[in-house]
Amino acid sequence: MPITTTGGFLTSGSGALGWSLPLAVGRALTAAPGQRIVCVIGDGSSMYSIQALWTAAQHNVPMTVVVLNNNGYGAIRALGRRIDMDRVPGADITGLDFATIARGLGVPGGTVTSAAGLAEALTGALAHEGPYLVDVAVADDDSTLYEPWAR
């Protein structure tokens, strides 16, 4: 997604798991009229603050949430590898349907399980008037996560 304006990309400095979703709702509430906010977040990170979707629904904010669903807490798995743990208890979160969770909180959504469906799903989500969530299945092999300490 192109970032075409100053201040068009917000992120935390470090270690703030779950911060993105409530930040995106707040930004959507204060955005210029007609400006749509896109929040790209991992499935594990979204679970820290999934209730922010309810606020998005209550205020009908113009926001698209893209959940990269790898069935687990990738950052926690990476930390486990850093301290030589083969398997971190509780880091796998399989079986969650984020589109259904979103609907339960008042936000419509859909699921993408193939690269072919991604463009169509994003086009629809970006055109939606209020909040919309797209649950995107990605590989659960997180070995390609950026790990600066591994250099």
14 CA to centre of own chain:
16
The pLDDT of residue 15 is: 62
Cβ distance 73 to 18 under 8 Å? Answer: no
* Architecture category of domain 35-68+96-141 in CATH: 3-Layer(aba) Sandwich (3.40)
Amino acid 148: pLDDT: 42
Rounded distance, CA 26 to CA 32, Å?
12
Q: Are 37 and 61 in contact (CB under 8 A)?
A: yes
The domain limits of the chain are: 35-68+96-141
For the chain, how many helices (H) and strands (E)? Answer: 6, 4
- One digit per residue, pLDDT tens: the chain, 151 residues? 677 877 777 776 656 777 889 999 999 999 877 789 999 999 998 999 999 999 999 999 999 999 999 888 777 787 888 898 888 888 888 889 999 999 999 999 999 988 888 999 999 999 999 999 999 998 776 555 444 434 3
Q: Give me the half-sphere count of Cα atoms (radius 13 Å) on the Cβ side of residue 53.
A: 28
pLDDT for position 76: 79
Cβ atoms < 10 Å from Cβ of 75: 16
CB 102 within 8 A of CB 53: yes
pLDDT value, residue 80: 85
The amino acid at 87: R
Kindly compute the dihedral angle of the four CA atoms of residues 110, 111, 114, 116, in this order, to the nearest 10 degrees. Answer: 0
How high is the pLDDT of residue 131? 97
